[in-house]
Amino acid sequence: MYSVYVLRSKTTGRFYSGSTSELARRVEEHNADATRSTKHRGPWELVYEETFPTRSEAMRRERELKTGKGREELKRLLAQSNHL
């Protein structure tokens, strides 16, 4: 299974979305500053996750969430789950 996830920086409030087959390990990497794209902007908290059976489906959804329309959808999803 593959996960699409959204993290929120506890220091800046900014969001980061990605995909992985090992979510717990990946979140740890983000919090350990082992990921260039999120380095020095953490700590990070997981605020949203979706699972998919294939890597290609997860990557497609990740790209979708990074578009303007996808960001709007994500805002609605986070508001519903009280993460915004």
Direct distance between the N- and C-terminal alpha carbons of the chain, in angstroms, rounded to an integer = 27
C-alpha–C-alpha distance, residues 64 and 21, integer Å? 18
Q: Supply the pTM of this predicted model.
A: 0.90
pLDDT in tens, 4-48: 999 999 999 999 999 999 999 999 999 999 999 999 999 999 999
Kindly tell me if the per-residue pLDDT of 81 is higher than 70: yes
- The answer to whether 27 and 35 are in contact (CB under 8 A) is no
- Give the domains, in start order, of the chain with CATH numbers: 2-80 (3.40.1440.10)
Residues 6+ apart with CB under 8 A from 26: 5, 18, 20
- The answer to whether 76 and 63 are in contact (CB under 8 A) is no
- The answer to whether 10 and 44 are in contact (CB under 8 A) is yes
